[in-house]
């Protein structure tokens, strides 16, 4: 059973690292016809020159950024609750395993909302038909699936009410 606990910690950490990497990278969308043109949530790059675009962006970018940061905080909560559960099982009357499980599923849900909003509205409004998704977008989807897996594995850890089923 300790192996399941360690696996959930590793999954939570991997999910968090991938989500943070997707958040800070600037390769969400690329322009296949123009070498070196790509776009992230925070920067737009043309031929190795990157420009920050914080406020003058379409409204959906703010929604995407909000849910990405919310997913990151839920992921941090999940990871640190799992680490803390090695030392004590409860914080006051709340099970740390339950906190971690809810944090993992919440991070996955926020990541999914963010990715779906990006896919449905993305930058096709700005440059229709000229864009393709890049590796940062793929990392976002990978972290979503890993967070779902983390939540499922965390339910099986010792101390979880579902581990006895």
| pLDDT at 13 > cutoff 70 | yes
The string of pLDDT tens digits covering residues 46-97 is: 877 888 876 777 777 788 889 999 999 999 999 999 898 878 777 677 788 8
pLDDT of 130: 65
Domain count for the chain, please give it.
1
- In-domain check, residue 158: no
Question: Counting Cβ atoms within 10 Å, is residue 32 exposed (0-12), middle (13-18) or buried (19+)?
Answer: exposed
- In-domain check, residue 164: no
The string of pLDDT tens digits covering residues 103-129 is: 999 999 999 999 998 888 755 555 556
**Full residue range of the structural domain in which residue 138 is found:** 2-153
Measured distance CA(158)–CA(160) in Å, rounded: 6
pLDDT of 123: 54
- In-domain check, residue 162: no
The string of pLDDT tens digits covering residues 35-55 is: 777 777 788 888 778 888 767
* pTM exceeds cut of 0.85: no
* CATH number assigned to the domain comprising residue 52: 1.20.140.150
- In-domain check, residue 165: no
| pLDDT at 139 > cutoff 60 | yes
- In-domain check, residue 82: yes
């Amino acid at each position: 059973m300790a192996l399941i606990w360690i696996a959930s910690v590793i999954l939570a950490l991997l999910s968090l690292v991938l989500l943070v990497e997707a958040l800070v990278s600037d390769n969400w969308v690329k322009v296949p016809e123009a070498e070196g043109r790509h776009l992230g949530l925070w920067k737009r790059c043309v031929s190795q020159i990157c420009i920050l675009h914080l406020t003058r962006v379409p409204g959906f970018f703010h929604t995407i950024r909000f849910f990405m940061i919310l997913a990151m905080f839920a992921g941090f909560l999940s990871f640190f609750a799992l680490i803390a559960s090695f030392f004590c099982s409860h914080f006051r009357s709340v099970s740390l395993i339950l906190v971690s499980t809810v944090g993992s599923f919440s991070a996955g849900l926020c990541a999914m909302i963010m990715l779906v909003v990006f896919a449905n509205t993305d930058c096709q409004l700005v440059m229709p038909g000229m864009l393709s998704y890049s590796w940062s977008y793929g990392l976002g989807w990978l972290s979503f699936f890993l967070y779902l897996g983390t939540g499922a594995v965390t339910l099986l850890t010792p101390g979880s009410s579902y581990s006895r089923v």
